[in-house]
Amino acid sequence: MPSVSSGHALDLEKFLKSLKGQPLEASINSLISLLKRRQIKGSEPCAVATAHILLQVVARSKWHDVDSLLINVSRTGRKLVDAQPNELVIGNIVRRVLGLIRDEASEDRGDAGDESASDAPTPTDIVPPAATSQQWTTRRLDSANSAAPAARPPIVSSYSSINPPKSLFHLLSTSPPADGDVSPFRNSGASTPTWRGNSSQIHALRSEVIDGIEEIKDEISQVDDQIAASAEVQIHPGDLVLVHQPSTTVERFILRAAQKRKFTVLIAVAPPRRHSAEGQHATFRKKLSAAGITVVNVMNGGLMAYMSRVNKVIIGARAIVATGGVVADAGAAAIARAAKEQGTAVVVLSGVYKLSPESPFDESSLIEWGDSSTFVSFADGPLVSGAEIRTALTELIQPELVDTYITNLGTHSRDHLSSLISDHYKREDADFHIWEEAEP
Amino acid sequence: MKEHHKKDQAQDQQKKGAKDQSKAAAAPAEGAGEKKLSNAELKKKAKEEKAARRAAAKVSQPQPPAGSAPGQAAEGAKGGKPKPKQQQDGPQAAGSQHGKAATPRSAAPMPAPKEAKPSVPECFSHLAMAKGVNLTQADKDVHPAVLMLGQQMSTMAISDSTTRLEATLLAFKKVIDSYTTPHGTTLSRHFTSHVLNPQIVYLTACRPMCFSMGNAIRWLKLQISKIDIDMADSDAKKLLCEAIDSFIHERITLADVVIVSTAADMISPDGGDVILTYAHHHLVERALLRARADGKRFRVILVDDPFERVGLAHAKTLAAAGIPVAYAPDLGALRTNLQEATTVLVAAEAMFSNGAMYARAGTCDVATAAFDLGMRVTALCETINFTERVSIDSLTYNEIDPERNTDEEFRLLFDTTRDKSISAVVTELGICSAKSVPAILRKLEEL
């Protein structure tokens, strides 16, 4: 639906333009409402908007040391995630920025004070398990006594066991932190009490983090090109390729392959909505036919009927969760299932920024339910009062249905995703969106 | 009749029909001079001419361009040819076979709408499609009732297999009624080849026959062939009409009643059942309404076909009957919807003898997803829809939506569900497993 997507691009552009003229708080609030109203939607626009607003947070918010910067960023991130919890990329970008800040801060500290870094645990080392459990219990007691809401203990509970202390000496020498120090910020390595940024250090950190965020923005903009680079390897001459409601990423991928190969494309189009215009994917079709590719718009909800002929199914992801499950437009899961039935390969295209360290406990939590009036008119009284209309916009494709993931970093199997995740996110930041605001 | 060769036989008959057809077209031409046409035939002819005139007037309006000549349509039933070729052949073949009545009128309007139609995508060109036959191009021997039925079928006004079957048989009854055996021949020898076959050829040209129609027509031909040569015309016609009536009654009306009540009984009387169904089928609807009328409490999740919203009206009917309905407009979040359901109830268009189910496109997706979750999938199907053919994928037997048959819009009407995802098939003979379709077919032969 080109008209709709351009409308959203407009909202994104408008928002990006407004960033300069507005105070930071106002920008954040306007982005939150844009997200809530789904005026900015789709993983790429959301990622871009998040990167921009975080850049503003780093550049313009008040912070005097790394911890307060981390708090500022994660607070803003949390608000954005709350505004649109289904868009996992928002959380991903926030995590990337948090990780970036931690990296830059640890480098700075390494330059500034070598003597403190030598005997303290390295920045990635987290509080050892012994300390954790103690901290956990004291915290529990503490929260039982006071009426204050129990702060969730930092990530340590899930991660520290994988990261045992290096020696017995470390275990003994690291004293359990004080009760109040349960925030992950205190464990960020950069926050050793000796570190107090002077203004020049802060300035340097700020500019480095800003550079880092710019890099993330560049990465997002280049994703489509980089993914398209592997098109020729995946699509072979004579293939019958099925794409489901192609996103720009998928379109670029197919078009790139079309430069070298002759194949047939089946487009599984979105069901007609009540107000939608005809002729879906018209420009994409035109480009493909110009390249001599046969394109067929398939108007079936379930595509099991076609699968015996289809060689490859290509699905553009909205997000990928840690288990390898893919959040995609509604209908994709049925297609992936049908492909599995016939042993057809399912290829998922996604930027690395869409790969999320979260793994949902309940798959239905990732379904975004849409406006019921797209299909049923409110004028239709008996139906409105008698039936519950369920319009899913997104859904989760089971990980076992996906054969290959293609990202801007190359082609990956499901097993490889976890290492990609650990390359891109810091463990401390995995659960940033559920940290309580323990810090003032 | 040897049942194992039914299929071949059916095809042979169709081909023979096509040949007879051309003979039939030639026969009246020579016969017209010597033998006087009977009243019924004259009347039929007059009606036909009227219909043709009307159609000629309508041609200026957009109408499904007339496809193939009747002769070709016989093989068009299964494994039709790519369209353009037929279009080329169309006018000549049609012209040669037409009586004097139709030819002059049909000549003028023909070429215009034909060129505009783009062709079916190459990779699906082997599949059949309802092409529709312009009334002016229909064979002159086609009975008006059949003419009308053909138009209703080609426009999908009558679309599901059982309704088509019933309408066809009723139309054939009218054909039999208006038939008079010519001198020098007998009903059992003349009717099938000279009167019935042109009707079948025309219907097939309008829309490929469904399996139940094939079964019923085979049965009807057998009944005709069994008629004693010495029997009086009126007695024979009465006998045939009665046979058709009882066939409809037994195989459709009563069968539906039994299936509906069996399916309704499968819903738990304690309440709490959540039934997921796909799109709309009258059997499913009737079963659900019946269960509700029996006082059972259950919920329905209705997953609709996104490109043909037949489920909306269905949902409305169910809601009006006091059944709580959740309506999902497409297959999105199918797994989540299924997790909530306790059983899946679908209706089949036909059952293949390998246990595969031929049903509305999308049914297979629902059934496999349900199978993944270990749910019970119940298919409702009258035994008249059982066929000895075997299909393992959905592209062996299928139909292209006549309104969406181009590159820009393409749609298949059916898909094939393998037997492993079907837990039970409810027929008028009882509940059986999908694997037992061939056994039931054998049993039916004995009856």
Digit-coded pLDDT (tens) for B242-282: 999 999 999 999 999 999 999 999 999 888 899 999 999 99
A335 contacts A315 by C-beta, under 8 angstroms: yes
Q: How many of the other CB atoms lie within 10 Å of CB of B145?
A: 19
Residue B221, Cβ density class (10 Å: 0-12 exposed, 13-18 middle, ≥19 buried): buried
State what percent of residues in chain A have pLDDT above 90: 40
Residues of A in contact with B398 (CB under 8 A): 305
Compare CB distances from B336 to A364, A385, A386 and report the shortest one's residue: A364
| For A282, nearest residue in chain B (alpha carbons) | B408
Helix axes B6-34, B197-206, angle to 10 degrees: 120
For A388, B100, B180, B395, the CA distances from B96, given in Å and listed in that order, are 58, 10, 26, 34
Please list the residues that pair with A316 across neighbouring strands: A349
Q: Which of B256, B216, B233 is nearest to B182 (CA)?
A: B233
pLDDT bin (cut points 50, 70, 90) of residue A282 is confident
| For A272, nearest residue in chain B (alpha carbons) | B307
State the DSSP H helix or E strand holding residue B416, giving kind and residue range, or none if neither.
Answer: strand B414-417
Q: In b/e form, how buried is each residue of B101-129, taking b as 16+ CB within 10 angstroms?
A: bbbebbeebbeebbeeeeebbebbbebbb
Question: Sign of dihedral through CA atoms A183, A185, A190, A191?
Answer: negative
pLDDT bin (cut points 50, 70, 90) of residue B177 is very high
Mean pLDDT value across residues B128-135: 85
Distance between CA atoms of B425 and B153, rounded to whole angstroms?
27
pLDDT bin (cut points 50, 70, 90) of residue B49 is low
Token digits for A200?
A: 């020049």
Residue B439 reports pLDDT greater than 70: yes
Residue A439 reports pLDDT greater than 50: no
Average pLDDT of chain B?
A: 79
pLDDT, position B387: 94
pLDDT bin (cut points 50, 70, 90) of residue B321 is very high
At A229 the three-state DSSP class reads coil
More confident residue, A88 or B115: A88
**CATH 1.20.120.420 domain range(s) in chain A:** 2-119+191-224
Residue B345 CB partners (closer than 8 Å, separation 6+): B263, B275, B276, B277, B284, B287, B288, B378, B380
Instruction: Return the biggest CA–CA distance within chain B.
Output: 75
Weakest-pLDDT range from A370-384, B297-311, B359-373: A370-384
> What stretches of B35-160 show up as alpha helix (H) in DSSP?
39-58, 70-76, 83-97, 103-107, 111-116, 144-154
pLDDT, position A20: 81
pLDDT, position A188: 47
3-state helix, strand, coil in chain A (%, to 5): 55, 10, 35
pLDDT, position B64: 42
Residue A177 reports pLDDT greater than 70: no
pLDDT, position A139: 43
pLDDT, position B107: 39
Distance between CA atoms of A409 and A280, rounded to whole angstroms?
31
Interface test with A, best of B280, B327, B399 (most A CBs within 10 A): B327
- Which backbone phi and psi does B394 adopt, to 5 degrees? -80, -10
Q: How many of the other CB atoms lie within 10 Å of CB of B50?
A: 11
State what percent of residues in chain B have pLDDT above 70: 74
pLDDT, position B354: 94
Mean pLDDT value across residues B411-430: 94
Give tens-digit pLDDT for B334-369.
999 999 999 999 999 999 999 999 999 999 999 999
B426 contacts B438 by C-beta, under 8 angstroms: no
Weakest-pLDDT range from A162-176, A243-257, A361-375, B264-278: A162-176
Residue A388, Cβ density class (10 Å: 0-12 exposed, 13-18 middle, ≥19 buried): middle
CA distance to partner chain A, nearest, from residue B357 (Å):
12
Compare CB distances from B312 to A304, A383, A388 and report the shortest one's residue: A383
Contact at CB, A302 and B331, closer than 8 angstroms: yes
pLDDT, position A386: 80
At A411 the three-state DSSP class reads strand
pLDDT, position A192: 44
Distance between CA atoms of A27 and A14, rounded to whole angstroms?
11
pLDDT, position A255: 94
For A142, B12, B22, the CA distances from B193, given in Å and listed in that order, are 96, 12, 11
Token digits for A79?
A: 């608000």
Give tens-digit pLDDT for B106-120.
334 444 343 445 578
Residue B329 CB partners (closer than 8 Å, separation 6+): A271, A374, A375, A376, A389, A390, A391, B304, B306, B309
Q: How many of the other CB atoms lie within 10 Å of CB of B439?
A: 12
Mean pLDDT value across residues B132-144: 85
Contact at CB, A297 and B410, closer than 8 angstroms: yes
Distance between CA atoms of B360 and B280, rounded to whole angstroms?
9
| For B359, nearest residue in chain A (alpha carbons) | A305
Residue A132 reports pLDDT greater than 70: no
Give the residue carrying structure tokens 């009334």. Answer: B135
pLDDT, position A370: 84
3-state helix, strand, coil in chain B (%, to 5): 55, 15, 30
CA distance to partner chain B, nearest, from residue A303 (Å):
7
Residues of A in contact with B372 (CB under 8 A): 337
Residue B168 reports pLDDT greater than 90: yes
Contact at CB, B363 and A309, closer than 8 angstroms: no
Give tens-digit pLDDT for B227-239.
988 888 899 999 9
* Per-residue three-class SS string for A45-77: HHHHHHHHHHHHHHHHCCCCCHHHHHHHHHHHH
pTM, rounded to two decimals: 0.75
More confident residue, A4 or B42: B42
B119 contacts B83 by C-beta, under 8 angstroms: yes
State the DSSP H helix or E strand holding residue B162, giving kind and residue range, or none if neither.
Answer: helix B161-177
Token digits for A433?
A: 């969106």
Give tens-digit pLDDT for A179-221.
444 445 544 444 444 445 577 888 888 999 999 999 999 999 9
In Å, how far from its chain's centre is CA A309?
Answer: 34
pLDDT bin (cut points 50, 70, 90) of residue A385 is confident
Question: Sign of dihedral through CA atoms B333, B339, B344, B350?
Answer: positive
pLDDT, position B84: 40
**CATH 3.40.50.10470 domain range(s) in chain A:** 229-408
Give tens-digit pLDDT for A402-438.
999 999 999 999 999 999 999 999 888 877 766 655 4
Residue A355 reports pLDDT greater than 90: yes
Looking at domain A2-119+191-224, its CATH architecture is Up-down Bundle (1.20)
Contact at CB, A300 and B320, closer than 8 angstroms: no
pLDDT, position A186: 47
Please list the residues that pair with B129 across neighbouring strands: B400
Average pLDDT of chain A?
A: 78
pLDDT, position B99: 38
Contact at CB, A383 and B316, closer than 8 angstroms: yes
Mean pLDDT value across residues A352-368: 87
Distance between CA atoms of B301 and B303, rounded to whole angstroms?
6
Distance between CA atoms of A115 and B396, rounded to whole angstroms?
76
pLDDT, position A383: 75
Residue B376 reports pLDDT greater than 80: yes
pLDDT, position A136: 43
Distance between CA atoms of B119 and B121, rounded to whole angstroms?
6
Mean pLDDT value across residues B31-51: 56
pLDDT, position A335: 94
Residues of B in contact with A376 (CB under 8 A): 312, 327, 329
Q: Which of A269, A250, A242 is nearest to A351 (CA)?
A: A250
Q: Which of B395, B406, B331 is nearest to A297 (CA)?
A: B406
Query: Can you identify the CATH homologous superfamily of domain A229-408?
Result: Translation initiation factor eif-2b; domain 2 (3.40.50.10470)
CA distance to partner chain A, nearest, from residue B329 (Å):
6
Domains and CATH numbers, chain B: 3-254 (no CATH), 267-446 (3.40.50.10470)
Contact at CB, A301 and B307, closer than 8 angstroms: yes
